[in-house]
């Protein structure tokens, strides 16, 4: 009986660690800085505070179903340059993602990441937040 309780606690702890450190669904919401309309992509600025750099989260919204999913989480970042290259492919900062294939970018999973700002829309800091 004690083994089952221990196993449940271990599985719960593993789930919490995964959601906290490895899942795009748990990244901070941030403040809206830009909405690019081809598909709807919203980028959110997350102020890192005095101990870390700032980050940006990109959220893809389905126009038909209004479903939302995180596809971009980059650090350091402020206001990444965004361009749709076709209906399914988007370039955010230095990353090119095919949204039809479900591709995402998370800096925590990028072994070749360079810790510098990608190309930005503007040099304004902090970015102008849309209310």
Domain residues of the chain, as ranges? 29-109
Q: pLDDT tens digit string along 96-123?
A: 999 989 999 999 999 998 888 999 988 8
Structure tokens at 45: 């600025």
Spell out the alpha helix ranges (H) of the chain: 2-21
Q: What is the mean pLDDT of residues 121-127?
A: 82
Q: What is the mean pLDDT of residues 90-94?
A: 95
Phi-psi region of 64 (alpha: psi -120 to 50; beta: other; left: phi over 0): alpha
pLDDT of residue 38: 55
pTM for the model stands at: 0.72
pLDDT of residue 5: 81
50 band by pLDDT with thresholds 50, 70 and 90: confident
What lies within 8 Å, CB to CB, of 85 at 6+ separation is: 91, 96
Residue 37 clears pLDDT 90, i.e. is over it:
no
Q: pLDDT tens digit string along 9-20?
A: 888 888 777 777
Q: What is the mean pLDDT of residues 59-71?
A: 88
């Amino acid at each position: 009986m004690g083994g089952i309780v221990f196993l449940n606690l271990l599985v719960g702890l593993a789930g919490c660690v995964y959601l906290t450190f490895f899942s795009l669904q748990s990244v901070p919401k941030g403040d809206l800085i830009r909405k690019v309309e081809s598909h709807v992509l919203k980028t959110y600025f997350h102020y890192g505070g005095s101990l870390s750099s700032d980050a940006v989260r990109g959220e893809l919204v389905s126009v038909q179903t209004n479903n939302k999913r995180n596809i971009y989480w980059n650090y350091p970042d402020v206001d990444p340059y965004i361009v749709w290259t076709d209906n399914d492919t988007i370039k955010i900062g230095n990353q090119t993602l095919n949204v039809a294939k479900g591709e995402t970018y998370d800096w925590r999973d990028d072994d070749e990441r360079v810790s510098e700002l990608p190309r930005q829309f503007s040099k304004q800091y902090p970015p102008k937040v849309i209310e």
